[in-house]
Amino acid sequence: MCITEYRLEKLRKHCSPRATFDAAERFDPPRCAENTRIEIIQRIEQWINNDGSNTVPASLFWLYGGAGVGKSAIAQTLAEKFHQEKKLAASFFFFRNDPLRNDGDTLIPTLVSQLVSTFKGLGPLVEESIHASPDLFSKQCQTQIEDLLLEPLLRLKSSKPLSFLPRPSVKPILGLISKDALRSRPRLIVIDGLDECHNPEVQCNLLRVIANAVPRIPYPLRFLITSRPEPHIVRLFNHDPALQAIVFDRYNLSDDPDADMDIRRFLEKEFEEIRRSHCLSKYLPPTWPDKNSITTLVERSSGHFIYATTVIRYIQSDQHRPDERLQVIFRLQPPQEQDQPYTQLDALYSLILRGVEGHEKLEKVCLVLGCVLINQASLLIHKPCSVCTIERILGMKAGDVILLLSPIHSLVAIDNDEVRILHKSLIDYLLDPTRCGQLQISFDLVRVHGLAATCILRDKIMANNCGVPFLVHVSIPTHCFCSKHYLNSQLLHITANMDI
């Protein structure tokens, strides 16, 4: 084995080969369905391609959004497309449940190992850096990106060893570099699911390191980074000096105006495929399911593809009747024993809610979600629930709601001081003990109604106005019949003791 192969083998020992877009361990990864996400994909493609001139610097694009909104599908689709066009430089897909894909320390070596194949002549220069610093892989990410990426690319660009690194044994490598490699053109680097890196501090450090490197990279590399809008990542993009020093693009996929239309296209195409290829296809009417059923599924998806894909995966089973399974989804008939229609979705919700530290804090989070739910269910109130209203009902200090919801920002949003639940199906999950397990104990709508009634009547008393509060008119979910009786009893108890 020659020395270059030996050194690069040392590099590969610190890589995570199963994190690349085409790794066998990622068999059948999520992809964008045909004729969906057209606008956002075109926008990112334009950013990647630009004009391809030598004057275009490296840059960064942050694609973010709530859990299950489709970020990884877009990242995978773009990685495959640009690989086919020979414009993919490298990729890394984080996954929190895989110790070889949730370790931020493997990111830089994994990207560099792929860049060695992308840029001819880069390998010997990377090998020199490893030879010059045998303990390089135990050093900080900033040092690794300097020695493994920046310096070799700068030397590759200049086609000669740098003067501040005298290594007489190294021969000029100009003859090894093809004209194509020297001709700069946009090349895509995909880093998907940064929030799934095991340590938030490492996530922030990696972002800073990449941001510091971007202005100095001599080739127009394009870093596409996807993540959930976790508070520490949002704060970094909004305020960190390293990121403020560069020009970067961003796009909130949770606000994609085409999401509902794309989900409808996906559902129509998948149901057509079920009618065509299912073993019971001849028993399915050509009009199944009707347009109203598809519209209902689109509404339940709340712009998140994970709900639609979970439903389709459940319905298309070859061991069951598709029409009956759709009835289960609509709760028109009960599921069979051990049947779990929302396994993937429930696992996602459980994972995120487990990120809330401590049962007491989780209980408070569920009370906040309950306030939002009863506000949405009210027949008289048709606006989002404000943070200050929730804090008043629950007797909290100003700012407590923001702190409580911080770990679940991928499920809820706070815009203009108003709380909004991003996933409509989250409430169904919390109200169904067969889906949420122990979490259902914390989601107590009866208690929320009592607290809200008490708060409203207290406000009425202070205002010397004893009219009937709006909450007596709320529409209670069918599986919470006791809530209305409890609420009325609370109202009677409080009004009976009022001096009026």
Q: What is the rounded distance in angstroms from the CA atom of residue 219 to the CA atom of residue 201?
A: 28
pLDDT for position 481:
39
Rounded distance between C-alpha atoms, residue 253 and residue 445, angstroms: 31
Share of the chain above pLDDT 90, in %: 58
Give the pLDDT confidence score for residue 217 in this predicted structure.
Answer: 94
Distance CA 7, CA 129 (A): 9
Range 406-420 average pLDDT? 88
**Residues forming beta bridges with residue 99, ordered by sequence position:** none
What kind and span of H or E run contains 222?
Answer: strand 221-227
Q: Residue 61: pLDDT above 90?
A: yes
| Region 392-415 average pLDDT | 91
Task: Please choose, from the candidates 349, 375, 376, 377, the residue with its C-alpha nearest in 3D space to the C-alpha of residue 439.
Answer: 349
Confidence of residue 416 (pLDDT cuts 50, 70, 90): confident
Query: Between the CA of residue 177 and those of 5, 159, 162, 163, 173, what are the distances in Å?
Result: 18, 8, 16, 20, 7
Q: What domains, with CATH codes, occur in the chain?
A: 3-255 (3.40.50.300), 259-341 (no CATH), 353-496 (no CATH)
Spatial CA neighbour of 21 closest among 126, 109, 110, 103: 110
**The pLDDT of residue 384:** 66
Render pLDDT for 423-439 as a digit per residue (tens, 0 to 9).
Answer: 989 988 988 888 888 77
Average pLDDT over residues 259-277: 97
- Specify the pLDDT at position 185: 67
The H or E element that residue 190 is part of is strand 187-192
Distance between CA 497 and CA 417 in Å, rounded?
Answer: 35
Residue 107 pLDDT > 50, yes or no? yes
The yes-or-no verdict on residue 380 having pLDDT over 60 is: no
Region 394-405 average pLDDT: 93
Query: Cα separation of 461 and 38, whole Å?
Result: 55
8 Å CB contact between 199 and 231: no
**What would the pLDDT profile of 180-211 be if each residue is shown by its tens digit?**
443 446 789 999 999 999 999 999 999 999 99
